[in-house]
Amino acid sequence: MGHSIALVTGTTSGLGYAAAKLLAAEGCRQVIVTGRSLARVKESAAQLAAETKAQVFTPLELDLNAPTSVQSALAELVKRGRPVDFLLLNAGLVPFKKRALTAAGVEASQAPLIGHHQLTVGLLRANLLSPNARIVIAGAEPARGGVPLFSYTDLPAFAAKYHQGERTAAVEALIRNGPNVKYVPNNAYADAKLIIAWWVAALARRLPSGMAVYAVSPGGATDTKVVRSAGPALRYLMIPIVKLIPGMNQTPETAARRYIQASEFGTDVSGQFFASAKGKFSGPVEVQRQPHLHDRASQEAAWQAVVKVSGLDYSPARPASEETKCHH
Ligand SMILES: NC(=O)c1ccc[n+]([C@@H]2O[C@H](COP(=O)([O-])OP(=O)(O)OC[C@H]3O[C@@H](n4cnc5c(N)ncnc54)[C@H](OP(=O)(O)O)[C@@H]3O)[C@@H](O)[C@H]2O)c1
């Protein structure tokens, strides 16, 4: 990370804040920290500078729910003109008890992906990611299944039942939480993180060859604000239990370290989802191999749905075989 420029979303609390701190300690030349309001993110940047004694933090206003905010943030980055080496798309949330939609009609826990897609595609189009850039987006264990109180939607079955087998329309319904999607906050979260894992796989196929993207679950870190909006079963039942089981919970620093670790992964594992070992929420990360995560039709459907909802596409990079031909 030495001398590189990092951009971290959602740094006003929790893991984004912890990651920004770690990046400064790793020697980053600049850490762009983002938050929904400039006033709050300026406060975070000042607090980070005071804690680390490093003058590397640059605040940037970025509300991922608002396309106009993403556009302004991009315009500001274009003005600064310095390519980002490490793009850490950390912002996310376990959604509210009561269903909430953004002005663009996107369910609250799905909205960060739409904003992150707009930001990433905007940076790619403006040539503001360095040739060997690493992109990490926050995933979570519920995307692979087997987490009590959280379940993801069986997309092929849902598409077959309500969308004549059209998976892109089915993913769009999940992103918008309707039609035919029953609102269960924890399940909306599991679906949001599953769509992220699929989006990562599809983006990896489109990135220029030196770049790589991964979904990384930071693992359980209950001392953040992640469940501030969640219902009582999670807050007062599951989390206290998880805290009691040794090895199931980590400090925000340990969790954030997983993101930083992933910034060193190679292009060979681009597009993969890294999370705790089966049955765990902590410890080392490993590539997740559940078949639903690797279903290419679902990955491409997730990409197309995100393109449709966000209004932004990114053309595939040339296939590797074609590039080899050109070099000879
Ligand atoms: N903590 C865990 O146990 C755990 C486990 C697995 C995965 N994760 C993932 O890790 C990431 C960070 O979570 P955390 O635990 O650090 O939670 P947190 O303390 O609530 O921090 C989340 C950050 O994201 C920002 N954010 C959320 N939605 C946003 C939006 N639409 N636009 C702009 N900023 C937005 C928040 O800003 P505001 O303060 O303005 O809302 C906050 O800065 C999330 O993606 C979460 O899903 C966490």
Write out pLDDT tens, residues 265-295. 999 999 999 999 998 999 999 999 999 999 9
Q: What CA–CA distance (Å, rounded) separates 90 from 9?
A: 5
DSSP string, 222-259: TTSSTTTTS-HIIIIIIHHHHHHSTTS---HHHHHHHH
In sequence order, the 6+-apart residues with CB closer than 8 A to the CB of 317 are 206, 207, 208, 209
CA gyration radius, the chain: 19
pLDDT tens track for 135-150: 999 999 999 999 988 9
Question: 218: alpha, beta or left, given left = phi > 0 and alpha = psi -120 to 50?
Answer: alpha
- Separation of CA 68 and ligand 1 centre (Å): 21
Q: Helix (H, G, I), strand (E, B), or coil: what is residue 286?
A: strand
Burial of residue 135 (number of CB atoms within 10 Å: 0-12, 13-18, 19+)? buried
pLDDT of residue 319: 56
Q: Are strands 285-287 and 273-276 parallel, antiparallel or unpaired?
A: antiparallel
- Separation of CA 94 and ligand 1 centre (Å): 8
The one-letter amino acid code at 165 reads G
CA dihedral 221, 183, 137, 20 (to 10 degrees): -50
pLDDT of residue 138: 98
What the block records as the tokens of 73 is: 């943030």
- What is the maximal distance between C-alpha atoms in the chain? 63
The neighbouring-strand residues paired with 285 are 276
Determine the residue of 88, 107, 225, 285 to mutate for testing ligand 1's pocket, defined as the one with the most ligand atoms within 8 A of the Cβ atom. Answer: 225
Q: Which atom of ligand 1 is nearest to the CA of 91?
A: 24
pLDDT of residue 195: 99
pLDDT of residue 222: 83
Determine the residue of 12, 42, 102, 189 to mutate for testing ligand 1's pocket, defined as the one with the most ligand atoms within 8 A of the Cβ atom. Answer: 12
- Separation of CA 110 and ligand 1 centre (Å): 12
Tell me which residue has its CA closest to atom 13 in ligand 1. Answer: 226
Determine the residue of 13, 258, 259 to mutate for testing ligand 1's pocket, defined as the one with the most ligand atoms within 8 A of the Cβ atom. Answer: 13
Q: What CA–CA distance (Å, rounded) separates 111 from 268?
A: 29
130 φ, ψ (degrees, to nearest 5) = -70, 160
pLDDT of residue 321: 53
pLDDT tens track for 154-190: 999 999 999 999 999 999 999 999 999 999 999 999 9
What the block records as the tokens of 1 is: 């990370």
- Separation of CA 160 and ligand 1 centre (Å): 33
The neighbouring-strand residues paired with 84 are 129
pLDDT of residue 318: 55
Contact 33, 90 (CB under 8 A): no
Q: Which residues have CB under 6 Å of ligand 1?
A: 10-16, 35-36, 63-65, 90-93, 111-112, 138, 140, 217-218, 220-222, 224-226
What the block records as the tokens of 115 is: 């904003």
In this prediction, the residues of the chain whose per-residue pLDDT falls under 50 are 323-328
Asked whether the bond before 208 is cis by omega within 30 degrees of 0, the reply is: no
Q: Taking the mean position of all CA atoms in its chain, how far away is CA 299?
A: 15
State the average pLDDT for the chain. Answer: 93
pLDDT of residue 323: 45
Burial of residue 223 (number of CB atoms within 10 Å: 0-12, 13-18, 19+)? middle
